[in-house]
Structure 1
Amino acid sequence: MNAKEHYANQLGNFYSWMLSDWKTKESEFREFLISKSLAPKKKNLAIDLGAGNGIQTLALSKLGYQVIAVDFNQQLLSELKENAKLENQSIQIVEADILSVSQFRLEHPSLLVCCGDTLLHLSSKEEIEEFLKSCFDCLNQNGDLLLSFRDYSITLEGDSRFIPVKSDSSRILTCILDFEGDRIRVTDQLLEKQNDVWKLSISSYFKVRLLKEECLVILETIGFQIEWVDFYQRMITILAKKK
């Protein structure tokens, strides 16, 4: 099962619950952008690739960007639309794979954002490289690409592969990681209480195991200038500029 199918059949149904308070996370991301001097000086265009339910999208919009939100999951985009309405933000929403970023080249974006583990949802390191090349071509001169992804440099084995993600009185979510060379099998195991009976649902998909150093080499080979590398909310975070 690929990432799109996994989100459609399993993860999209409880993704927002898993993330908890999206308003707090949106505010935190907005403050992070401000701290990194990424607030726009005018009504610049930002494209949120893998927008999900809108945490990054709404932060960008509130800072003053014109925003296009791109995601392949219709359910999460519907939630984003409702969240944007609740926050009185005007967002252009596009249901598409992030690999379609080249379609926005004539829009002249000054910022592309691909956060969460979205980058690792692609099928291979080769596809990641092609995607990053498309981002470079799409951006305005001196435009920025903001990436974040999890650090999978340490191979988890045995019991450490089982990661408790979230639980409450009616749901228990556990993530199981199996390291297989340059990819990781991610299994979401959800126990859900329905009419006092616990029901189990399981779904797996693969992520690319991309190391920070590998990503930096790819970006620099394409022509990006690395502005900074940080660790934000337990994720490797990189700002690369098109020079």
Structure 2
Amino acid sequence: MLGGDLDALAAAQRDLLAQWGVVPGSQDGSLAVDLGCGPGHTSLALAGLGYDSVLAVDLSGPLLSELAAHARDMPAVRPVRADVRTALPELVRPGSAGAVVCLGDTLTHLPTRGDVAALFADVTAALAPGGTAVFAYRDLTVPLTGTDRFLPVRATEDRIMTCFLEYPDDYDDYTVVVHDLIHSRDGAGAGADWRLNTHSYRKLRLSHAWVLAQLRTAGLRVRHEESGPGAMRTVVLERACEQPR
């Protein structure tokens, strides 16, 4: 999905984070947390920006091992196998994090909208006053129809990834079913056979208006937001100095 070149991905992500103002400061702490880090290009970017400690949280052991291999010369990066729903209360002292990021559409993989709202509250509690949070997710609340449901993800000479979406009646507007189709082959040429691997899972349908309302309720103030391809939304926030009562 990401292309495999973690160093190039980390460099591009570092530039984006700096553009969004995600840099360590004297007032907001030098700890950063990357929730749902995957292979860790964002964790590497945060370390490259100067955070003294970067907690890279994910449930996938293989992806964390991949990150550990790339971060051998970056002692600031600490891969941690944990659930993003419990990681902050368990691992981070309240008010100590300079930045918490949750990118790559991680939010929509949580089981319920209540889990999303609870995570926002945990992020606020973990952030130092003036600390920065960044969330990126897909707004899948408007159903796609026909061939628009088929979304190309990435294509190389020997691997093609596509996904398509279904909107089942049993969950109404709450979730969407995502089917991943991955065609791959070893070697090129007419003699190389293509193999197909498939996987299906549900994702939450989170409207942008709902997300913004929950972020405000949690005590986070929007500093910047932008839209991207595939209904991707990115929101950059800071912890308000005064928490909501």
Q: TM-score, normalised by structure 1?
A: 0.85
Asked if residue 236 in structure 1 is aligned to residue 242 in structure 2, the reply is no
Gaps of 5+ in 1: 1-14
Quote the RMSD (CA, aligned, Å).
2.0
Q: 1:65-214 to 2 correspondence within 5 Å? A: 65=51, 66-85=53-72, 88-90=73-75, 91-100=77-86, 101-106=88-93, 108-180=96-168, 181-193=173-185, 196-214=192-210
**Take 1:233 and 1:104, find their aligned partners in 2: how far apart are those partners?**
34
- 1:188–1:203 contact (8 Å) kept in structure 2: yes
Q: 1:227 to 1:169 in 2, by over 3 A?
A: closer
Report the more deviating stretch, 106-115 or 46-55.
106-115
Q: 1:8-23 to 2 correspondence within 5 Å? A: 15=1, 18-23=2-7
Q: Give the % identical residues.
A: 30
**Take 1:98 and 1:203, find their aligned partners in 2: how far apart are those partners?**
22
**Take 1:232 and 1:93, find their aligned partners in 2: how far apart are those partners?**
28
Measured after TM superposition, the shift of residue 49 of structure 1 is: 0.5
Residue 40 of structure 1 is aligned with which of 24, 30, 51? 24
**Take 1:29 and 1:75, find their aligned partners in 2: how far apart are those partners?**
22
Question: Who wins on radius of gyration, i.e. which is larger?
Answer: 2
Report the more deviating stretch, 183-192 or 71-80.
183-192
Paired positions, count:
225
Deviant stretches of 4+, over 6 Å: none
Measured after TM superposition, the shift of residue 169 of structure 1 is: 3.4
Q: TM-score, normalised by structure 2?
A: 0.84
Q: 1:233 to 1:36 in 2, by over 3 A?
A: farther
Gaps of 5+ in 2: 241-245
Q: Helix, strand or coil for the counterpart of 2:120?
A: helix
- 1:40–1:63 contact (8 Å) kept in structure 2: yes
More helix, by proportion:
1
**Take 1:124 and 1:45, find their aligned partners in 2: how far apart are those partners?**
28
